[in-house]
Structure 1
Amino acid sequence: MTKTFFITGGTSGIGEATARLAVAEGHKVYITGRSQDRLRSFIESFGATASEHVAGDIVDAGSWEDTQRAVDACVKRFGGLDVAFANAGFSSRGNLVSGDPESWRDMVMTNVLGPVLLIKATVPHLTQSRGHFLFTGSTAGRKVYPGNLYTATKWAVTGLAESLRQQVVGTGIRVSVISPGHVDTPLWAAKETHMMSPDDVARAIMWILAQPEHLDMSEMIMRALGQEF
């Protein structure tokens, strides 16, 4: 069955890989991001058939107005919504003493408030479709790096996912948080020795979505073989 996906942070990394795999499997995808050039390049990469399967918008994930507008546009464009994927996020450089407070604010707004706003905008539609809400968590949402605020935002995502799961019990909505370890994305200033590709995570996401409707895959933790953290 063809589904409609709404993916934040869909112009690179895990979001882009998931969007491409979803389209390859015959689904429709609406992505958001902050880069007009990346968004245009993503849509144009699908050629003449792009308008049938792919659309998107420039959205600040921490803005309610932007989020609501984009979700409404997605539903109008494709006729409904089946999967909402709160994927947008980034890590601010520096530690709890040397970090930039303004960058911290942007990170918390994107990584924590962003998923909350997406919940508010999409749950009414997901209730109608008995759909699926996904979060990109992290192994940093189960352990911590020293002096790192990013880990706190991912702990918040882990808790938020469980809070949403409990709220929507009985509605038919499924809720999953996928918590990958080191993934080769722009998040990293320098590459780690043991890393997964975004495609690895995307395949896991599509596997979660393919499970029977009576199963709620609440959380998946995955790491590259050899990762210590």
Structure 2
Amino acid sequence: MADRMRNGTGAPVTLVTGGSSGIGLEAVRRLLEAGHMVAMTGRDEKKLAAAVEELEAGEHVLALPGDAADWAAVSHAVAETVRVFGRLDNAVANAGFAVPGSVETADPDDMRAMVLTNVLGPTLLVKAALPELRRTQGRIVLVGSVAGFKNTAGNLYSVTKWAVTALAENTRMLVTGEGVGVTLLAPGRVLTPFWDDRPGGAAAAGPMLTPDQIADAIVWAVSQPEGVDVNTLVIRPIGQPN
């Protein structure tokens, strides 16, 4: 019971996967600024701890190390969020990554890891979070990609994001009658470490959004009034044609 007193003010509680860097970290930061209590997950425990230290949010933030594609870790993250903060109002499935190469050239083990993180990961979060979100009439945000709407030759990352696009709609159909909202957020090019291994890096790719701009969209999505469900947000930088 003492842990639950962290949220004695009744602030909204949000869980963000992949919260230790990039869009995830900025989403945590923006949510904290908006008055949320935030639980954040990440595979790298040291990196996650460093992110929490950087945020300087005290008992308003909870670090939960674990793999987004591991059911035990995901279900524990949801349970621990509720134990510590007393409830769960929003679940943000942000964890994901891309591997270099195409379906022809990429390493099969790398491809497997990407599919598990990008597709199974958000699915597991939906499964784990839904019982709590039904209680709070909460919201799910799935971070997809423009790549989930536009095909690219041989791009398995794009395939995984098409799967997230489908997951968002079939989850919405499953839970909208129970008062749970579902938003697919599909960014275009965003200036994150995603580009570090690409030829020429971010500079060669073209105009970029910043992680905080996507984080602002996440906060906006979960801040909609009761009865309003924003289902799909596609956000590109001006100058990105595809």
TM-score w.r.t. length of structure 2: 0.91
User: How far 1:38 moved relative to its partner?
Assistant: 1.6
1:116 alignment partner, SS class: helix
Structure 1 residue 169: Cα displacement: 2.2
1:122 counterpart residue number:
129
Aligned letter for 1:209? V
Q: Does 1:131 align with 2:138?
A: yes
- The residue aligned with 1:82 is 89
Which residue of structure 2 aligns with residue 42 of structure 1? 51
Match of 1:8 in 2: 17
RMSD: 1.1
Contact 2:29 2:55 in 1 (8 A): no
Partner of 2:67: 60
Structure 2 residue aligned with 1:226: 239
Per-residue deviation at 1:41? 1.1
Alignment correspondent of 2:222: 209
Aligned residue for 1:178, secondary structure, equals: strand
The aligned residue for residue 141 of structure 1 is 148
Instruction: Supply the AA of the counterpart residue of 2:32.
Output: V
Alpha-carbon offset, residue 154 of structure 1: 0.2
What's 2:27 paired with? 18
Confirm whether residue 168 of structure 1 aligns to residue 168 of structure 2: no
Structure 2: gaps (5+ residues)? 1-9
> Does the residue aligned with 1:97 lie in a helix, a strand or coil?
coil
Letter in 2 for 1:125: E
The Cα shift of 1:69 comes to: 1.1
In structure 2, C-alpha distance between the alignment counterparts of 1:200 and 1:136, rounded to whole Å: 13
Aligned partner of 2:210 in structure 1 is: 197
Per the TM alignment, residue 37 of structure 1 is displaced from its structure 2 partner at its CA by 1.9
CA distance in 2, matches of 1:26, 1:178: 21
Question: Secondary structure at 1:160's aligned position in 2?
Answer: helix
Query: 1:24 Cα deviation (Å)?
Result: 1.1
Instruction: Find the residue that maps to 1:45 and give its secondary structure.
Output: helix
Amino acid at match of 1:223: R
Secondary structure in 1 matching 2:52: helix
Structure 1 stretches lacking a partner, 5+ long: none
Q: 1:182 & 1:39 partners in 2: Cα distance?
A: 24
Q: What is the Cα deviation at residue 46 of structure 1?
A: 3.6
- 2:40–2:64 CA contact under 8 A, matched in 1: yes
1:187 Cα deviation (Å)? 1.4
Q: 1-side partners of 2:234 and 2:227: how far apart?
A: 21
C-alpha distance in 1 between matches for 2:47 and 2:191: 18
- The DSSP-based 3-state class of the residue aligned with 1:23 is helix
Q: 2:157, 2:174 → 1: CA distance? A: 26
Q: Distance in 2 between matches of 1:62 and 1:71?
A: 14
Rounded Cα–Cα distance in structure 1 between residues aligned with 2:148 and 2:224: 24
In structure 1, C-alpha distance between the alignment counterparts of 2:45 and 2:224, rounded to whole Å: 34
Q: Between the two proteins, what is the percent identity of the paired residues? A: 43
Counterpart for residue 6 of structure 2:
none
What do the CA deviations read for 1:29-56 (whole angstroms, capped 9, x no partner)?
A: 0000111222111211243x51x20011
- Tell me the CA shift for residue 110 of structure 1: 0.3
Report the Cα distance in structure 2 between the residues aligned to 1:14 and 1:73, rounded to whole angstroms.
Answer: 23
